[in-house]
Structure 1
Amino acid sequence: MTYVLLSVVVALAFPWGASAVARRLAGALPPRAACWTLTAAALLMAGGTIAALSGLLHVPFLASLEQVPPGRVLEVWPAAVPTACAAGVLMLLQLVLLVRRWLRHRSLLKAAWQSVAGGTGGGDLLVVPGSEVDAFALPGYRGRRGRIVVTSGMMRALKAGEREVLFAHERAHLTGRHHVLSAVVDLSTTVHPAVRRVRESLEFHLERWADEVAAASVGDRKAAAAAIARAALAGTAQQRRAGGGYPLLSVATGPVPRRVQALLGPEPVAPRGGARRAGALGLAATVAASAPAALALAYGLHEYVEYAAVAVRGS
Structure 2
Amino acid sequence: MDAGVFVPLLLPAAGWPLARLVSTVARPPVAVWLLTGSAVALAAGSTAALCVLAFAGLSLVPLVARIGEWSPQSLQGMEIASVPVEAGCGLALTVAAVSIVVTCVRRIRGLRALRRIVAGADGELVVVPGAGPVAFAAPVRGGRIVVSRPMLAALDPVQRRALLTHERVHLRRRHHLFLAATGSAAVLNPLLRPVRPAVEFLVERWADEETAERLGDRRVVAAAVAKAALVARGKAPEFAPAATGGPVPRRVAALLAPAPPRLGWRPVAALCAALSLVVTGWTAQASVEAAADLHAGLELASVGHHHHHPHALA
TM over 0.5: yes
Q: Is the 8 A contact 2:34 2:273 kept in 1?
A: no
Cα drift, residue 41 of structure 1: 1.0
1:29, 1:271 within 8 Å by CA — same for their partners in 2?
Answer: yes
Q: Deviations over 1:266-300 (max 9, x none)?
A: 22233555334423332333233324533553465
Alignment partner, residue 159 of structure 1: 156
For residues 186 and 277 of structure 1, what CA distance do their matches in structure 2 show? Answer: 25
Residue 244 of structure 2 corresponds to residue 252 of structure 1? yes
Alignment equivalent of 2:274, drawn from 261, 281, 299: 281
Aligned to 1:37: 34
Say which is worse superposed, 43-52 or 286-295, in terms of deviation.
286-295
Provide the C-alpha distance between the structure 2 equivalents of 1:40 and 1:130, rounded to a whole number of angstroms: 39
Q: Distance in 1 between matches of 2:125 and 2:75?
A: 65
> Relative to structure 2, which stretch is displaced further, 147-156 or 88-97?
88-97
Structure 1 residue aligned with 2:311: none
Partner of 1:103: 105
Aligned counterparts of 1:7 and 1:163: Cα–Cα separation in 2: 54
Write the letter of the residue equivalent to 2:185.
S
Distance 1:167 1:78 in 2: 58
Output one character per residue of 1:203-262: Cα deviation in whole Å (capped at 9) or x when no partner.
Answer: 000111111121122111111111111111111xx33xxxx5544311111110100111
Is the contact made by 1:19 and 1:41 (CA closer than 8 Å) also made in structure 2?
Answer: no
Stretches of structure 2 that go unaligned for 5 or more consecutive residues are: 309-314
Structure 2 counterpart SS, 1:190: helix
Structure 2: distance between partners of 1:222 and 1:194: 37
CA distance in 2 between partners of 1:245 and 1:14 (Å): 32
- 1:125 is aligned to 125
Matched to 2:98, the amino acid is V
* 136 and 181 in structure 1: CA distance in 2 versus 1, 3 angstrom threshold: same
SS at match of 2:188: coil
Contact kept in structure 2, 1:7 and 1:300, CA below 8 Å: no
Q: Which amino acid aligns with 2:104?
A: W
When normalised by structure 2's length, the TM-score is: 0.82
User: Cα gap change, 1:67/1:17 in structure 2, threshold over 3 Å: closer, same or farther?
Assistant: same
Pairing 1:295-310 to 2, within 5 Å after superposition: 297-298=290-291, 301=294
- For the 8 Å contact 1:132–1:154, the answer to whether it is kept is yes
Maintained 8 Å contact 2:72/2:301: no
Match of 1:228 in 2: 225
Identity %: 36
Cα deviation for residue 83 of structure 1 reads 4.5
SS in 2 for 1:7: helix
Query: Any conservation in 1 of the 2:179–2:199 contact (CA below 8 Å)?
Result: yes
Give the distance between the partners of 1:110 and 1:211, measured in 2 at CA. 28
Which whole-Å CA distance do the structure 2 matches of 1:249 and 1:19 have between them? 22
In structure 2, the CA distance between the partners of 1:285 and 1:246, relative to structure 1 (3 Å rule), is closer
Q: Aligned AA for 1:32?
A: P
Match of 2:194 in 1: 197
User: Is the 1:212–1:263 Cα contact (8 Å) retained in structure 2?
Assistant: yes
TM-score normalized by the length of structure 1? 0.82
**CA shift for structure 1 position 53:** 1.4
- Alignment match of 2:203 (pick from 206, 228, 250): 206
AA aligned opposite 1:106:
I
Distance of 2:214 and 2:270 partners within structure 1: 31
Shift of 1:185: 1.2
The answer to whether the 8 Å contact 1:18/1:286 transfers is: no
Which amino acid in 2 is paired with 1:255?
A: P
Unaligned stretches of 5+ in structure 1? none
User: Following TM superposition, by how much is the alpha carbon of 1:114 offset from its aligned partner in structure 2, in angstroms?
Assistant: 2.5
Change (3 A) 1:162 1:85: same
Q: Superposition RMSD on alpha carbons, in Å?
A: 3.2
Residue equivalent to 2:287: 294
Aligned length: 300
Question: Match for 1:282: what amino acid?
Answer: L
From the superposition, tell whether residues 309 and 139 of structure 1 become closer, same or farther in structure 2 (CA, over 3 Å).
Answer: closer
Structure 2 CA distance, aligned partners of 1:266 and 1:64? Answer: 68
Instruction: Say if 1:228 and 1:260, in contact at 8 Å, map to a contact too.
Output: yes
